[in-house]
Structure 1
Amino acid sequence: MIDAGGDKGGDGLRESELPFEEGVGSDRVRSAAMHQLPWYVIVYEGPEHRVAALNREFLSILDGFNPTGMRAVDYLGGSEAQGIIEIFDRAYAGEQAVFHRMRIGVVTPNGHQQEIVLDFEVSPFRDRHGQIVGVLGAGRDVTVAVRREKADAAAALELGRRYRRATDVIAEVQHALLPTRLPVLPAVQVAASYVVGGTEQAAGGDWFDVLPRPDGQVAAVVGDVVGHGVAAAAVMAQLRAVALERLNAGVGPAQTVEALDRFTRVVPAARSATVCVLVLEPGERTVTYCAAGHPPPLVLDGRGGARFLDPSGAPPLSHTVQDAHGNAIVRGVLSSTLGPGELVLLYTDGIVERPGVPATTGTVELSQTAAAAAADDLMPVFTLPSAVDRVTAQTLERLTRATGSVDDITLLAIQPTDVLPDLHVHTQLNRAGIPAVRAQLRGWLGTDRAAEHAVNQLDEILGELLENVVEHAYGDSGASTDGYPRPDGGGAVTVRAHLDELGTITLIIRDEGSWVPRGGHPVPGRGLGLAIAQDFADQVQVDHSPDGTTVTVTFTPWKDSHGSTAQSPRPVPGLFDTYTQHRDEQAIMTVLGPVDAACVPELDAQLALNIVPGVVPLVVDLQQVTVLSSAAIHALRRRLEQAGKAGVAVQVVSSPGTVAHQVLSLVGIDTAAGH
């Protein structure tokens, strides 16, 4: 801040003595002109930069204080700190400098503080012989303009934020109204991809649903509402609810479309929406469908072939077709049989009517690209194991890569497959063998069929229940002095798993031992296994008998739809591992993979090595943990208590939505979100 204070100096050079160049006009005229200039003008004399002259505009900065005759460093308090004197020194040495939007802090003799912004030029001041005798400064005050620009920029930024918030809300509404989870079925593979259009109002009215039925049939619907924005999303939600109710009631495709037709009488905004409803009979590989103004389904054989099913020719919702006698024609149902390995693709017209692409060309491109994806011939950087995933994800990415999309796009693929056989494992089990049984369950369900997060949850359930079997059914309470379970002990265990037509897994764990209560004093943090399993499962039932204990679990796995904003994090499963790095004055202990009871001694040893009084703070990173057993929780909680007593700062990091985060929340261990 420049302080325009101190004692007033002498008069300095008289105007007649200033080294103006000779020419037309008098010194008085030149002086008067300088005073009237709308810029700041000041003349310094000599190497000490004493003020020789200045105009009224400059005096206004100083509240009228006249520093004539004073050194710049004396009346410009803070000028050295702001680099002002250095600028004058360079100008006195012959260097000219121009500054754009230069900020200077000023303190007047009466204590008034202000910040001004100048467009300022400093140059050598020469006498009539060309010798440098001082420094000339001239500038224009642009403070008001800069403040106005900043205000305008801030207003524009806020307007942009409001616009983004509005469009984000619209998109979020549509995402929330669409299914983020697809069913996992024993004889049908399903996948879906969607993208919100790029129009100014963002989200539109595309929707899709897949509904398994108790008789093994699978109903699917894809629809498209006219328009964009909140209104279209609201209409879409209502149409979706009506369609789901009808399909859940077991009616066929035509009756479902007729119900939607009737609904348009109540909600006129739903008029002209298009829809295709399809029902698949997996065993017979037959599809029946009814389309209202919607493009026909596309069948792909997985070998590069493609064929469109017959179009219905029916108009959009609320538009009726009449016969020659004026009677409304009932919407018809078409059917087809899929060959071995074939799948059927439902889609909305946004995928064929892309910017700059005629609908006829877009239809051909869809057929060719989807056929290549089904045959795994697109050669993307990251391939996908199942044909339905490739068709939905890779087709959408490939066709919109160059053109983008102005309309919403939805792709829904359904493929009948061989029935998933039941899992049956019978083994002599101890704690060391638990990971092998868990691996068999993971392999049975498979992350190509279900979301990896769903598989991780099922993995956690089975691991906890098997540890309970070893400890309680066979008496291996791990009576070691440190409270950790021993790897030996155990007995016969049978594990069965069945996936039914509605997409629900029934998991049965049967032992042949006698339930043994935990002896001695309860160990803090132990006894959580059943509670953790119940938290992840739909239902857990425990039945004791003289011949052993049977635990029956129901669990509904799911598959993520591509494009969903609610997809869960996907830690890498792999094997258990842990390592520590030092970064930013803290130790980061990273834990990976499944942490079951067999891994607890190693986990505990690593925690003990890092929790030492006087060392740097510790971060325990559990973001890549796929299974976190109750035994691991006991070890972690025990070491956290030790760290608290020793004054060592420990922070546990986990990703929201992961198994580890859910377990930690259940047992009350605070965590920070990872990046």
Structure 2
Amino acid sequence: MIDDPMEEILSVLQDVVLPAGVPVVPDFETAARFSIAADVGESSGAWFDVLPADDGRLTLVLGQVPGSGMVAVAAASAAAAVLRASLRHSGDLATALSLLETHAAMTPDARGTVLAVATVDPHDRVVTYAVAGHDGPVVSPRGGAGRRLGVHGPALGHGVVPSVALETLADGDVVALELGVTDLPAQLDHHRAESLEATCDAVSEQVMTVAERGVVAVVAAGLPGRRTADLMVRLPHDELASRRARHELGEWLERCGATAMDSLSVVQATGELIANALEHAYPARDVDAVVELRACHRPSGEVVVEVVDHGHWRRETDEAGRGRGLAMAAGLVSGLEVVTGPDGTRGRVSQPLGRPVAVRRHPVVHPPEAVVDIHRDAPDRLRLTGDFGHDEVERVGHELGLATRGGTRPVVLDLSDLVAVSAGALRLLGDLVATDHGPTRVELRARQGSVAQRELTRAGIAHDAS
């Protein structure tokens, strides 16, 4: 229960930005877990996607826009839409990332977005991946030690298109992206279960027990999936045909991994087509009449069911009440069509299979105050200590503006003693050292092994780590 009306609005918007679930596809096992802290505004700029392509490839996306609140939610929604549409249009990861970088550079609220994306080809057993200010994907083999793919690049919006790399996979491998999970390779190795759903559950549950704030997210795909042979059933023209069709189709959908709701929708809509074919295509006593039921699970995750007869339907009438069954069936599935020709009638039902992913809210454990202290050790040397959160970005930016006299005097900024660095803080730090508008006036320093040094390295922000 959320008491604050504004937080309730943000919570609803966060749910709108995120997909309703993950696709159920024949070539992969898929799973995702997404949880945000009770202080919902802190991390509302995060999103994930699992995008199937018609050729069977599957793309995992995990990103986060700096900042918090409604602005971050809107910026995340736009960034997700740009990447999703570009991948759908071009089918090429490098092209999609180039367009997303352009979008981030032109959109102030999207500048500094961090991203990890991986496209897995089930036929070539290859993962194509890229990161922007984020850790690389993790590959976890069954029975072996997981590894993080080592590629780094700056956050989006600074004129650098993320580089694309490739890695070969094997059967049993899981490819995973994360936010807020420390040492994901070891976590996957330790919690590996029979199903990927159970594995992601165990990892996210363990992390949420110690999470302080922000996002805990795991998005994963495993090879191979559960490919199911196409269904082909010949139904004689008798009183048991509809019952047999529903039984056969329901069992086939279960083998495909369909949820109970998807299965119910497809079976009900198909049942209406079969009932129509048996009633209208053949004379009542035609013992040789047959209706064919065919079904396939496409690489994109879409189930297509066809009901085919070779009879001749009676002429349509304007009788009141006719057609209600087909109207109801059309409302149950994503697509329904009936095509009649001289050789019979073909009815088709289509429905993408998916598994819901609920947005969970984990309790904040010992919530720290996001306060950063600014120390002026010398006129040209500043040092930050504490927690550099989203809410402190404007104040720190103002102090640095004064110290550099509007960017006209060089300043050294020491970040070695920070205990946390938010995405919004990283965007500010990246802007401070950007050289696209002339020479930089701020030199960042972070002691080797410090929190800031690790975050700056991950985000691809220039700094001195000596």
TM (normalized to structure 2)?
0.68
* 2:256 and 2:297 in contact (8 A); partners too: no
1:466 to 253, 258, 274: 274
Which runs of no fewer than 5 residues in structure 2 stay unpaired? 362-466
Q: Which residue of 1 aligns with 2:151?
A: 312
Q: Which residue of 1 aligns with 2:325?
A: 529
* Structure-2 separation of matches of 1:282 and 1:407: 33
Q: Which residue of 2 aligns with 1:108?
A: none
Q: Which residue of 1 aligns with 2:411?
A: none
Q: After the TM superposition, which residues 633-644 of structure 1 pair with which residues of structure 2 at under 5 Å, given as runs?
A: none
* Structure-2 separation of matches of 1:415 and 1:238: 28
2:174 to 307, 319, 343: 343
Tell me how far 1:516 sits from its aligned partner: 4.8
Tell me how far 1:446 sits from its aligned partner: 2.4
1:343-399 deviation line (CA, Å, top 9, x unaligned): 211111x2x2xxxxxxxxx31xx33443354433xxxxxxxxxx3322333321233
Q: Which residue of 2 aligns with 1:210?
A: 50
* 1:447 and 1:455 in contact (8 A); partners too: no
2:262 maps to 1:417: no
Tell me how far 1:202 sits from its aligned partner: 5.2
* Structure-1 separation of matches of 2:256 and 2:218: 18
* Structure-2 separation of matches of 1:514 and 1:389: 48
Q: Which residue of 2 aligns with 1:333?
A: 164
2:139 to 299, 304, 309: 299
* Structure-1 separation of matches of 2:267 and 2:97: 41
2:291 maps to 1:452: no
Q: Which amino acid aligns with 1:370?
A: L
1:59-82 deviation line (CA, Å, top 9, x unaligned): xxxxxxxxxxxxxxxxxxxxxxxx
1:512-540 deviation line (CA, Å, top 9, x unaligned): 44435799x97x86753222222223443
Tell me how far 1:494 sits from its aligned partner: 1.0
2:240 to 428, 432, 445: 432
Q: Check 1:314–1:532 CA distance in 2 against 1; reply closer, same or farther (3 A cut).
A: same
* Structure-1 separation of matches of 2:248 and 2:189: 33
Q: What secondary structure is seen at the aligned counterpart in 1 of 2:37?
A: coil
* Structure-2 separation of matches of 1:346 and 1:243: 17
Q: Check 1:543–1:240 CA distance in 2 against 1; reply closer, same or farther (3 A cut).
A: closer
Q: Which amino acid aligns with 1:290?
A: A
Q: Check 1:295–1:559 CA distance in 2 against 1; reply closer, same or farther (3 A cut).
A: same
Q: Which amino acid aligns with 1:510?
A: V
Q: After the TM superposition, which residues 480-629 of structure 1 pair with which residues of structure 2 at under 5 Å, given as runs?
A: 491-516=289-314, 528-545=324-341, 547-563=343-359
* 2:234 and 2:290 in contact (8 A); partners too: yes
* Structure-1 separation of matches of 2:238 and 2:338: 20
* Structure-2 separation of matches of 1:342 and 1:307: 9
Q: Which residue of 1 aligns with 2:62?
A: 222
Q: Which amino acid aligns with 1:284?
A: D
* Structure-2 separation of matches of 1:197 and 1:227: 15
Q: Which amino acid aligns with 1:270?
A: A
Q: Check 1:461–1:564 CA distance in 2 against 1; reply closer, same or farther (3 A cut).
A: farther
Q: Which amino acid aligns with 2:215?
A: D
* Structure-1 separation of matches of 2:255 and 2:32: 16
Tell me how far 1:291 sits from its aligned partner: 0.6
Q: Which residue of 2 aligns with 1:273?
A: 113
* Structure-2 separation of matches of 1:475 and 1:302: 57
1:555-581 deviation line (CA, Å, top 9, x unaligned): 33333224389xxxxxxxxxxxxxxxx
Q: Which residue of 2 aligns with 1:289?
A: 129
2:7 to 163, 167, 170: 167
1:573-617 deviation line (CA, Å, top 9, x unaligned): xxxxxxxxxxxxxxxxxxxxxxxxxxxxxxxxxxxxxxxxxxxxx
Tell me how far 1:288 sits from its aligned partner: 0.8
Q: Which residue of 2 aligns with 1:645?
A: none
Tell me how far 1:215 sits from its aligned partner: 3.3
* 1:543 and 1:551 in contact (8 A); partners too: yes
* Structure-1 separation of matches of 2:240 and 2:74: 54
Q: Which amino acid aligns with 1:307?
A: G
* Structure-2 separation of matches of 1:518 and 1:244: 43
Q: Check 1:562–1:367 CA distance in 2 against 1; reply closer, same or farther (3 A cut).
A: farther
* 1:474 and 1:490 in contact (8 A); partners too: no
Q: Which residue of 2 aligns with 1:99?
A: none
2:168 maps to 1:370: no
Q: Which amino acid aligns with 2:193?
A: A
* 2:146 and 2:189 in contact (8 A); partners too: no
Q: Check 1:405–1:338 CA distance in 2 against 1; reply closer, same or farther (3 A cut).
A: farther
* Structure-2 separation of matches of 1:450 and 1:423: 15
1:248 to 81, 88, 94: 88
Q: What secondary structure is seen at the aligned counterpart in 2 of 1:179?
A: coil
* Structure-2 separation of matches of 1:543 and 1:244: 33
1:233-292 deviation line (CA, Å, top 9, x unaligned): 122112112212321232543443343333333222323321012111111111010111
1:24-72 deviation line (CA, Å, top 9, x unaligned): xxxxxxxxxxxxxxxxxxxxxxxxxxxxxxxxxxxxxxxxxxxxxxxxx
1:403 to 202, 205, 210: 210
* Structure-1 separation of matches of 2:43 and 2:25: 30
Which runs of no fewer than 5 residues in structure 1 stay unpaired? 1-159, 321-327, 353-361, 377-386, 478-487, 566-675
Give the aligned length.
360
* Structure-1 separation of matches of 2:335 and 2:218: 33
* Structure-2 separation of matches of 1:167 and 1:249: 35
* 1:171 and 1:203 in contact (8 A); partners too: no
* Structure-1 separation of matches of 2:245 and 2:91: 42
* 1:257 and 1:292 in contact (8 A); partners too: no
Q: Which residue of 2 aligns with 1:176?
A: 16
* 1:171 and 1:202 in contact (8 A); partners too: no
* 1:431 and 1:467 in contact (8 A); partners too: no
* Structure-1 separation of matches of 2:360 and 2:269: 26
Q: Check 1:457–1:340 CA distance in 2 against 1; reply closer, same or farther (3 A cut).
A: same
Q: Percent identity?
A: 27
Tell me how far 1:448 sits from its aligned partner: 6.8
TM (normalized to structure 1)?
0.48
Q: What secondary structure is seen at the aligned counterpart in 2 of 1:317?
A: coil
1:95-126 deviation line (CA, Å, top 9, x unaligned): xxxxxxxxxxxxxxxxxxxxxxxxxxxxxxxx
* Structure-2 separation of matches of 1:427 and 1:251: 40
1:127-165 deviation line (CA, Å, top 9, x unaligned): xxxxxxxxxxxxxxxxxxxxxxxxxxxxxxxxx98x522
* Structure-2 separation of matches of 1:199 and 1:515: 61
Q: CA RMSD in A?
A: 3.2
Q: What secondary structure is seen at the aligned counterpart in 2 of 1:249?
A: helix
* Structure-2 separation of matches of 1:476 and 1:405: 69
Q: Check 1:530–1:264 CA distance in 2 against 1; reply closer, same or farther (3 A cut).
A: closer
Q: What secondary structure is seen at the aligned counterpart in 2 of 1:507?
A: strand
Tell me how far 1:545 sits from its aligned partner: 4.6
* 2:130 and 2:164 in contact (8 A); partners too: yes
Tell me how far 1:200 sits from its aligned partner: 6.0
* 2:62 and 2:177 in contact (8 A); partners too: yes
Q: What secondary structure is seen at the aligned counterpart in 1 of 2:131?
A: strand
* Structure-1 separation of matches of 2:123 and 2:238: 41
* 2:304 and 2:350 in contact (8 A); partners too: yes
* Structure-1 separation of matches of 2:257 and 2:121: 19
